[in-house]
Structure 1
Amino acid sequence: MKIEEIGYLCVDAKEMGEWRTFAGDYVGFEVRDLAEGCLGLRMDGYDWRMKVRPSDHNGVGFMGMKVETVEALAQVRAEMAAAGFVVNESTAAERADRRVEHLLWVSDPDDNRVEFFVNRAVDSAPFAPGRPIGGFRTGKLGFGHVVLGTPHLEEMENFYMKLLGFGLSDYMTGNIEVRFIHANERHHSLALVKTPVKFLHHVMVEYKQMDDVGRLYDKALLIPGMIQTSLGRHTNDHVFSFYSKTPGGFLLETGWGGRSLDRATWEPYEMESMSFWGHERSWETPENQLKQRQQRDAVGARGVSAPVEVNGDGGFVSRDAAI
């Protein structure tokens, strides 16, 4: 089974009031009003890549996994059914909302709704960000990545890796149990973290230009409590980023400079530190903050680093033609 990308994400939101300002004025999404009080957050040529839906709880509403053909979708249906998952057919209204020709869905082991779609329509209107930015890195890589806390790590690994075909990029064991997994050249489209209860930990979107991360950081510094994880650079995907608190309670990682990988030759490895430097987590316990600082100090003492590729405009060099 081959998933091409995580094409879209819907989040459920208890408090819709702050989302328009946060998404448009702060992050730079193009914000569209959708039916039933929903907001569509646009990043490129699609109608939306993220959707915010009014709800009595915060968390994942659904994730949309792109498959290339109707034949591939039939394979999804057959393999999911054979593995014991209930396969649900979509309604015409759901297909119209996602602007896809074909759609079916299942619930993963944590009861998250996972949709599989074919042929999503592109909008004819050009992307119009909520404030001046250089755009988002999307295209064949999908909209970004999602990190899920799960009490059922083994079952979720089986679902996403063995059934859906996500590949393991790297992982951590011990104090933190996490699996970073990929569907395409983006280092990871999904990460699974072992936690006592399920929850949406964070979503990452990637700017095309480094300066857009810096300008957003300037804005975040003026908003008390907005910065939840300080500016830093990850050791695995090499993203230069920081994390903000969303109106939905989960975190939004805004980054630049993510590495690409070759799925055919990539060898997973165990990480010793999440970041080369920075990414101080304000929400962690003092004990965990100290452990993470020691991990960063250890890689820093050895001078561990990684290059980045930039073009003349200051943006990431991508081999993908973004939509």
Structure 2
Amino acid sequence: MKIDEIGYLGIDATNTAEWRAFASDYVGFEVRDLANECLGLRMDDYAWRMLVQPAQRNGVGFLGMKVESLEALETVRSELTAAGVAVHESSEAERAVRGVQHMLWALDPDENRVEFFAGRSIDESEFKPGRPIGGFRTGSLGLGHVVLGTPLLVEMEHFYMKLLGFGLTDYLDTEIKVRFIHTNDRHHSLALVKTPSRFLHHVMVEYKFMDDVGRLYDKALTMPGMVQTSLGRHANDHMLSFYSKTPGGFLLEAGWGGRAIDRATWKPEELWGFSFWGHVRSWETPENQAKQREHIESAARLGLRAPVEVNGEGGFVSRTMAI
């Protein structure tokens, strides 16, 4: 089974109205009004990459997994069924909302709805961000990444890695247990964290230009309580980012400069820590904040650093310098 990308995300929201200004004026999504009080959050050539829908809770409504063809979708059906996972047909109305020709769905071990689709339509109209930005890095990499807290880490690993074919990029196996997993060249499209209960921890969107992250950070600093994790750079995916609090209570990571991997040659490794510098978490306990400071100071003493990778898209430009 081969999943190409996490193509879209459904967000359950107890108050969809609060999402409009956050998504448009703050993040820079193009916001579209859809039926049944839903909001479509557009990032690129698709009608939306995230759909905010009214619900009795905040969190994951559904995860949309892209496969390349109807034949690949039938492989999903047969392999999940053989593994004892119930696979359901989508309705015509569901396919219409998502703009897809074909779709099946199943529940993961945490009972998150996972949708598998093929043949999603491109929206021919121009992407119009809610504020002036240079766009988001999506394309074949998908919408960004999603991080899920789960009490069923072993079962979730089996579902996403053994059944769906996600590969392990790196991991942490200390008092915090985390699995960063990939399905394309993005360092990770999904991360699973061992937690007492299931919840959506954060969603990462990657801007094409570093300046857009900086300007958003400037904006966030003027809004009390908005910055939940300070500006920093991750040690594994090399993302320059910070985290904001969404209307749904989970976090949104605004990032730039994410690392690409070669799936054919990549070898998983255990992490020593999360960040080279920064990423101070305001929501952590004083004890955990002290541990984080120890990691950051250790990285500084060792002089750990990494170059920014050039990928020829958006804000990345490679120039030959005469010496």
TM-score calculated relative to the size of structure 2: 0.97
Q: 2:33 maps to what in 1?
A: 33
C-alpha distance in structure 2 between counterparts of 1:132 and 1:249, whole Å: 26
Contact 1:210 1:314 in 2 (8 A): no
Cα distance per residue 1:118-153 (max 9 Å; x no partner): 010000101000000000000000000000000000
Report the alpha carbon displacement of residue 316 of structure 1 after superposing the two structures with TM.
3.1
Cα distance per residue 1:13-33 (max 9 Å; x no partner): 012221100000000000000
Comparing 58-67 with 14-23, which one deviates more in the overlay? 14-23
Report the alpha carbon displacement of residue 175 of structure 1 after superposing the two structures with TM.
1.6
Q: 1:150 maps to what in 2?
A: 150
C-alpha distance in structure 2 between counterparts of 1:314 and 1:64, whole Å: 25
Q: Quick one: which amino acid aligns to residue 303 of structure 1?
A: G
Q: 1:321 maps to what in 2?
A: none
Q: Quick one: which amino acid aligns to residue 20 of structure 1?
A: R
Q: 1:315 maps to what in 2?
A: 315
SS at match of 1:122: coil
Report the alpha carbon displacement of residue 310 of structure 1 after superposing the two structures with TM.
5.2
Cα distance per residue 1:46-93 (max 9 Å; x no partner): 000001001110010000000001111101000101111110000000
SS at match of 1:63: strand
C-alpha distance in structure 2 between counterparts of 1:311 and 1:90, whole Å: 37
Distance 1:96 1:311, change over 3 A: closer
Percent identity (aligned): 71
* Root mean square deviation of aligned Cα: 1.3
SS at match of 1:10: strand
C-alpha distance in structure 2 between counterparts of 1:309 and 1:170, whole Å: 19
SS at match of 1:156: helix
Distance 1:90 1:44, change over 3 A: same
Q: 1:15 maps to what in 2?
A: 15
C-alpha distance in structure 2 between counterparts of 1:205 and 1:168, whole Å: 21
Contact 1:309 1:317 in 2 (8 A): no
SS at match of 1:18: helix
Gaps of 5+ in 2: 319-323
Contact 1:244 1:253 in 2 (8 A): yes
SS at match of 1:61: strand
Contact 2:171 2:177 in 1 (8 A): yes
Q: 1:187 maps to what in 2?
A: 187
Aligned runs of 1:51-130 on 2, under 5 Å? 51-130=51-130
Report the alpha carbon displacement of residue 174 of structure 1 after superposing the two structures with TM.
1.1
Report the alpha carbon displacement of residue 297 of structure 1 after superposing the two structures with TM.
1.3
Q: Quick one: which amino acid aligns to residue 69 of structure 1?
A: S
Q: Where do 4+ consecutive residues of structure 1 move more than 3 Å?
A: 309-314
Is 1:292–2:292 an aligned residue pair?
yes
C-alpha distance in structure 2 between counterparts of 1:78 and 1:269, whole Å: 32
C-alpha distance in structure 2 between counterparts of 1:212 and 1:282, whole Å: 23
Report the alpha carbon displacement of residue 309 of structure 1 after superposing the two structures with TM.
3.5
Q: Quick one: which amino acid aligns to residue 35 of structure 1?
A: A
Q: 2:321 maps to what in 1?
A: none
SS at match of 1:277: strand
SS at match of 1:26: helix
Contact 1:103 1:115 in 2 (8 A): yes
C-alpha distance in structure 2 between counterparts of 1:104 and 1:16, whole Å: 26
Q: How many residues align?
A: 318
Report the alpha carbon displacement of residue 111 of structure 1 after superposing the two structures with TM.
0.1
Report the alpha carbon displacement of residue 218 of structure 1 after superposing the two structures with TM.
0.5
TM-score calculated relative to the size of structure 1: 0.97
Is 1:159–2:137 an aligned residue pair?
no
Cα distance per residue 1:184-217 (max 9 Å; x no partner): 0000000000000000000000000000000000
